[in-house]
Amino acid sequence: MDTTRLNDIGIGTPISPRVFLAFAATAIITGFLTTTAASEEFRPLKLPQQSVSPYQQYQPPPQQTQQGVDEAIYENFAREVSGMTAKRKKKLIANFSAKRDRAIRNRQADQSLHYQRLLEILKK
């Protein structure tokens, strides 16, 4: 065959090594991706096993509950409050309000009710 004629249509023209490596790398990557994608496509989907649902797994910390405060405590406190100065009552109100709010934030119902009752006695 006549090589001049092949050169006229582009066959037999030397290509640079960079172009050759680019084509080779593209072919290898394309082949690798298509074979791995095809093998993954037909693999059955496996869901992770959960023996316990997340709702059953979480258990809130136990709340500390008081056994109930004796009424005599509140009566004694009411007697003591009657003899206090206004300045002392104001300090106690601020202190008990903070403790009540902390108990509410910590979801300690018994403690929050106890401090609320003391506040009611103080504010009478």
Instruction: Please report the pLDDT score of residue 22 as a whole number.
Output: 79
Domain housing 23: 3-41
In a domain, 59, yes or no: no
Q: What is the pLDDT of residue 92?
A: 92
Residuewise pLDDT in 10s, the chain (124 residues): 444 454 555 555 666 777 777 777 887 887 766 665 555 566 677 777 766 665 566 666 665 545 677 888 899 999 999 999 999 999 999 999 999 999 999 999 889 999 999 999 998 8
Collapsed DSSP state (helix, strand, coil) of residue 41: helix
Q: 100 lies in a domain? A: yes
What distance separates the 2 farthest-apart alpha carbons in the chain?
125
Q: Are residues 72 and 37 in the same domain?
A: no
Residues 73 and 37 in one domain: no
- pTM reported for the whole predicted model: 0.47
Closest CA to 87 of 44, 122, 60: 122
In a domain, 106, yes or no: yes
Q: What pLDDT, on the 0 to 100 scale, is given for residue 2?
A: 47
State whether 37 and 72 are in the same domain: no
* Residue with the two structure tokens 């092949």: 6
Q: Give the pLDDT of residue 1.
A: 46
Q: Is 72 found in the same domain as 119? A: yes
Please count the structural domains in the chain.
2
